[in-house]
Structure formats: structure tokens, C-alpha cells
Chain A
Amino acid sequence: MIAAVLAQAVEIQPLTADDTLVAQNIAFGVIAAVMLYSAFRMVTTRNVVHAALYLVIVLAGTAAQFLLAGAEFIAATQVLVYIGAIVVLFLFGIMLTRGSLGVEELERNERRGMAALVAVLLAVVTGYALIDGFENTRFEVASPSTTAQVSDSIFSQYIVPFEAASVLLLAALIGAIVIARKD
């Protein structure tokens, strides 16, 4: 129900947008509706493997939205890192822990009502704040940003966070091995 309401809210927006961007806005609306439906199915489905496949749809939709926003390199990275690596990692995690909660029992989960309340409240409050704050703010995607621009920015202005991220990845690598190791 949350997804339906939100899909409606998102789909209404493109109709009021600039006429010259009709095709982009239709593409946005269709992809956004598919993403919200898949995300909703992901958190409500009983089968964990299906949840991982719904996650793939959401991630691919996100990559498509990045393309619409003119961010080519991020879209490619999204597909490579998320769909290529992280989802495979999730599938391995599901396979290695299979049988413990293969089909989750959702009926007796008393936390669902409270969680749904929190999620709906969050969506309504953020949605209201966004509509109130950014009413008809528009942006033009004149030309997609190139990989050269992104890399220039990373290796000049943001070189310190970049190095910190590489150290973080090393720490996560070692930490994951140490935690999961049999000894």
C-alpha cells in the first residue's frame, strides 16, 4: 500500500514537468514505479532468494535513473559493483545459511505493525518536507558528466577521502576474513 501511494506521488510529478522532457519523464515514472513495487516485494516476500532477485531489479532501476540524471560512470559502477558483486555475495550468504529460515513465518511477527507505522510516518514526513521545500525546482541535464571529469575530481579535490576509502576497504577485507574464519 505504501508503494502504491508513493508510486502515485512519483508518477504525478512527470505530468507537470516541462513538455520537452516528456520522454525522459515517462521513462522516469515507469522505472520508478517498477523500482518501488520491487522494493516493496523485496521486504515482504517470504522467499529469501526471490528477495535477492527483487533487489537486482531495484539496483538496475537505480542505474537507469543515474543514466537519466546524466551520471554515466556511476551507472556503470552501480551495475558492476552492486549487481555484479554485492548481489552475488548475498546469494552466497543465502545459500550458506539456507534451512535456518528458508521460508520465514511472517504471520506472528508483532513488530510488523510498528515497522509499517514508522515507515509510513517517515515517508509522509519526508515527502511533505520535500514537496514543501523543493516545489518546482528543476535541473537540466545538458550533457552527461564524463568519466574524465569524475576521475579529475576524485584524484585532485577528493584525494584524501579516496585514500581513506581504500584503507577502509582493506580493513573490511581483513575484518571479514578474521570474522568468518574457522579456527
Chain B
Amino acid sequence: MLLNQFLLLAAGLFAIGVYGVLARRNAVLVLMSVELILNAVNINLVAFGAFNGTVTGEVFALFVIAIAAAEVGVGLAMVLLMYRNRKSIDITQVDAMKG
């Protein structure tokens, strides 16, 4: 198979994820878009691993999955805290630390 078909798919998913992070106001949707970005990276890692003929790419994809799980746990806890304090999860309103 062509290496590029995996890489282009991952690039497309990455760009869509970046759009989601930048454009959406709902904090949960921003976290979902981050998952999309991490998934694109995983596709790249597995494709390059298969290209290399080793399992190194798959091992690194496993690490990325573990880190994604940790990130979602902490991120959703922060979103819940935000909702409890402000009754809103609109990230455009979270600007208390804006300089």
C-alpha cells in the first residue's frame, strides 16, 4: 500500500481537529477535537511502523493512547469544575487570566 494514503488521511483529520479546537466554543467539543488530532498522530505512527517493518510505531501509538486517556480524564474534570463555578462551558468566557 502507498504510505502517502495513510499520511494524507492523517493530515486531513489533523486539520479538521485543528479547526474544531479553534472554532468551537463548547469545551467538551474542544476536547473531542483534541482526540481527533491525537488519532491522526496514531495513524501516522502505525503507518510509519508498518513502513519500517518494526513494532516500534505500534508501541508509540499505545503510549499516545494512554496519554490521551489521561488527558481526557483531567480535561473533563476541569470542564466539570468550570461548569460548577460558572454554569457555562463556553471557553470564550474563560478569560480571567487574559493580560
Contacts and interface: CB of A to CB of B under 8 A. Distances in A.
Interface of A: 2-3, 6-7, 9-10, 13-14, 16-18, 21, 24-25, 28-29, 32, 35-36, 39-40, 42-43, 48, 51-52, 55, 58-59, 62, 65-66, 68-71, 73-74, 77-78, 81-82, 85-86, 89-90, 92-94, 96-97, 100-101, 104, 109, 111-112, 114-116, 118-120, 122-123, 126-127, 130-131, 134-141, 145, 149-150, 153-154, 157-158, 161-162, 165, 168-169, 171-173, 175-177, 179-180, 182
Contact of A141 (B19, B50, B68): B50
B79 A93 contact: yes
A104 B26 contact: yes
A49 B94 CA distance: 23
Given A48-B28, A139-B1, 6 more contacts: A89-B72, A93-B79, A109-B23, A130-B8, A150-B62, A168-B70
Nearest to B9: A32
B50 A70 contact: yes
B72 A90 contact: yes
| Interface residues of B, dominant DSSP | helix
B2 A138 contact: yes
B86 to A, nearest CB: 9
A93 to B, nearest CB: 4
Nearest to B71: A172
B23 A136 contact: no
Contacts of B47: 69, 139
B5 A71 contact: no
Contact of A115 (B14, B22, B74, B80): B22
A9 B76 contact: no
A9 B33 CA distance: 22
A176 B88 contact: no
A86 B76 CA distance: 10
Contacts of B23: 43, 109, 111-112, 115-116
B58 A73 contact: yes
A130 B11 contact: yes
B16 A62 contact: no
Nearest to A52: B32
